[in-house]
Every structure is written in C-alpha cells, then in structure tokens.
Amino acid sequence: MKKYDVNISNLATLLTINIQGDGSELLEYLPQPHKYHRYNLEAYQLQYLLSGVFWTAKSSKYLNDMLLRLNISMDIKSIEYKSVSATKNDYELNLFQNLKSLNKKVFIPRANKHDDSVFWGLKLFMEHYVGKDGFVPYSTLFEYAHTHYHDHIKDFSTLKAKCRSVWNYYEAKNWETDKYIRKYTDEELKMSRTEHIKKVHKNRSDDTYKKIVNTITGMFGNEYKKASTSTGWNISKLAKELRLSRTTVTKYIKEYEEKKA
C-alpha cells in the first residue's frame, strides 16, 4: 500500500530528539514536550507529536528547515521521526519559532582573488610555518608548491603567481598569522545567555497572561464563570481549554484581578 492510500488526516508525526545538554535548551528554544526522559545530568530525550505528515516536497522542506534550526540551536545527538496516529494535542511547527534562524547567505572565502584548493593549500602551509618559525623564505613556499601542486596548475607562471600572492600577503602582515579576535569574553557570553533566557521567560509569561486575560474578557468569557457564583472562575475548564496547568491559570487570574482592582 502506498503512503497516499491512507487517510493522512488521521496521522501525525512523532519526533524524537536526543540532546546533549543541561536542560536550559528546552527552556530557551523549545515548547513543552509531550514526553521527556533524562539519561543523566548531561543528556536527555524529548518527544513531540507534530500535526500531520510531511510527505510532500513543500511540507518536507518545512520540516527539514526546522530540523536544521534544531541542529544549530543546540547539541543534537540524533533525530528520528515516524508517522503515528493523530491526537488532539499535536503541535504545529510554528511552536518551534524560538529556534535560531538559518543563515540564508552562503559564505565563500576569498583572498587575493584566488578561490581554489591550491591557493588555500599554500595559505595553510604558510599559516603553519609562519606560526612556527616566523619568517618563511619565498623559495621554501615555491618548492613546496612545485612538489605538491605542479599537476594541478595549467602553467608554471600561474603557480608562481599564486605563491607570490600568498607570500606577499604574509610579508605585508609582518609575518603574523591570521588571528581570531573574540568579540566577547567567557563571562560576557555567560551574562548575555543568562539575560536572553530571562527575556525568553518573560516573553512566555507575558504571552500566557495575555492568553488567559483575552479568554476571560472576550466574547465567551462568561462560559468560564463558575455556575455557583458570578465572580469566580472555572479554573479546571480554563486550564483544559488553554492547555495550561491549574496553578498557572490561578496565578495569572489573580494577577489580572489585582491589576483591575
């Protein structure tokens, strides 16, 4: 039986993710999982039920983009997914919007207008020996190039030009290797991450508060009042409808009523 012979409206996708981390990744980037299992202090597994299946080219692209964003947002050890029966609690992909965005621009390294393996081979050679010995004679570089790359170059003058280009580059830098300069210290990165997590928590808190308030003050707000009183709220019904815990609903209703008073 082909995939499309079944009623796909009755299917969902079970996504299983194994993550290396302390759990802060879940708070920062991911929605509440349907299932959670911790292997140890540094590794855990999450499972999500995603609405529908991803069998068409368009839907498969959406899923693959999300999986790529997962990989750049945290240390993913493995990802598996399969089709299962749908439930009322399946998630849409837009709930994963806190994941890091994909960089659509492809970076192509270029130096002195040479963009080939020979040029970068010569540059790596110079990086190694400049870092080790400081000055490197031009003859040493050319001897290396002629030994390793004479079959890769159309003519002798092209090989000489590449060698001269690389050698001139390091001469102009006063025989220093390329250095990566960090923008932030470890402490600054840690502080930045902490502040970001706090911001994420606050945004989620604000969104939850608005969701509850919009529900009880909206057109159908009276449906969530207790039958025995005109002022109390049916916390259980609200929690079920909004997929929140009773504690969370109680907390934000109390906050709303205090502000209103």
pLDDT score recorded for residue 209: 92
Q: For residue 49, what are the contacts with CB-CB under 8 A and spacing of at least 6?
A: 12, 13, 14, 15, 34, 84, 86, 87, 89, 90, 91
φ/ψ of 114, rounded to 5, equals -105, 125
Q: What number is the average pLDDT over the span 178-192? A: 64
Q: Which of 57, 89, 47 is nearest to 242 (CA)?
A: 89
The residue extents of the domains of the chain are 3-96, 117-172, 186-260
Q: Residue range 2-28: average pLDDT?
A: 77
CA pair distance 257, 216, nearest whole angstrom = 11
pLDDT digits (tens, 9 = 90+) for 84-126: 998 888 999 888 888 887 654 433 334 444 346 778 788 888 8
Burial state string for 39-71 with b = 16 or more CB within 10 A and e = fewer than 16? eeeeebbbebbbebbbeeeeeeeebeebbebbe
**Whole-model pTM?**
0.40
**Predicted pLDDT at 114:** 38
- pLDDT tens, position by position, 191-214: 667 787 888 888 889 999 999 998
3-96: CATH topology: Alpha-Beta Plaits (3.30.70)
